[in-house]
Every structure is written in structure tokens, then in C-alpha cells.
Structure 1
């Protein structure tokens, strides 16, 4: 499973993983294709290290490479409001 960690301005560390990321790579790729929306985005779930609630984000399918840590943290914070 490929995951990514970012820390927000509140010093909370978030672990983000694409939905179906726990599947084998072949199955995860197929699931991502099936769940990709019309804008080419996929669902990413980010789980905090502390007391905050998990958030779901819609991000470009290449979010691991294309979205910076700062952008990811900003999207998480915006989703919490």
C-alpha cells in the first residue's frame, strides 16, 4: 500500500492513502479506474495522528506526484471546516 504523510499547521501528522490502496497493485489500479470521477479525480482518505477526524479528499489520480505536501495539508484543513 502506498501512503503519504504530511503535517499540518496544527502539527498533526496525517497519513493519506488512496481508497482501495490496500489491494494488490493490479486490483488497486483497476479499482481506481472504476472509481475515478469525470474530472479524473480519485478518493483519498487521510487519517490523523491525534484527535482530529479522518477526512476524504477528491484529488487528481496522480496526487502522489502532482500534489505538494503544502497543497495536501491545505486541502485537509479546508475539509475540516
Structure 2
């Protein structure tokens, strides 16, 4: 499972993974295809290290490479509001 960690301004570390990322590569790819929306976005689940609540984001399919840490933190913050 490929995951990514970012830390926000409150020193909360967020671990983000694409939904269904814990499946085998073949099954994860198939699940991602099925869950990709019409805008080419997939669901990414970000889990905090502290007391904050898990958030779900809709990000571009290539979010791991294309979305900067700052943008990911910003998206997490926006989804909490």
C-alpha cells in the first residue's frame, strides 16, 4: 500500500492513502477505475496522528506525484471546515 505523510501547522501528521489502496495491486487498480469520477478524481483518505477526524478528499488520479505537500495540507484543512 502506497501512502503519503504530511504535517500541518498544528503539528498533526496525516497519513493519506487512496481508497482501496490496501488491496492487491491488480484489485486496487480495478477499484480505482471503478471509483474514479467523471472528472478523473479518486477518493483519498487521510488519517491524523492526533485527535482530529479522518477526512476524505477527491483528488486527481495522479495525486501522489502531482499534489504538493502544501496543497495536500490545504485540502485537508478545507475539508475540516
TM-score under structure 1 length normalisation: 0.99
Equivalent-residue separation in structure 1 for 2:21 and 2:3 (angstroms): 8
Residues paired across the two proteins, number: 81
Q: Could you tell me which residue of structure 2 aligns to residue 27 of structure 1? A: 27
3-state SS, counterpart of residue 78 of structure 2? helix
Does structure 1 residue 42 correspond to structure 2 residue 42? yes
Unaligned runs of at least 5 residues, structure 1: none
What is the TM-score when the length of structure 2 is the normalising length? Answer: 0.99
Which residue does the alignment assign to 2:13? 13
Runs ≥4 in structure 1, deviation > 3 angstroms? none
Return 5+ residue gaps in structure 2 as ranges.
none
Cα offsets for 1:42-61 (capped at 9, x unmatched):
00000000000000000001
Deviation at 1:64, TM superposition (A): 0.2
Aligned to 1:77: 77
SS at match of 2:5: strand
RMSD: 0.4
Match of residue 60 from structure 2: 60
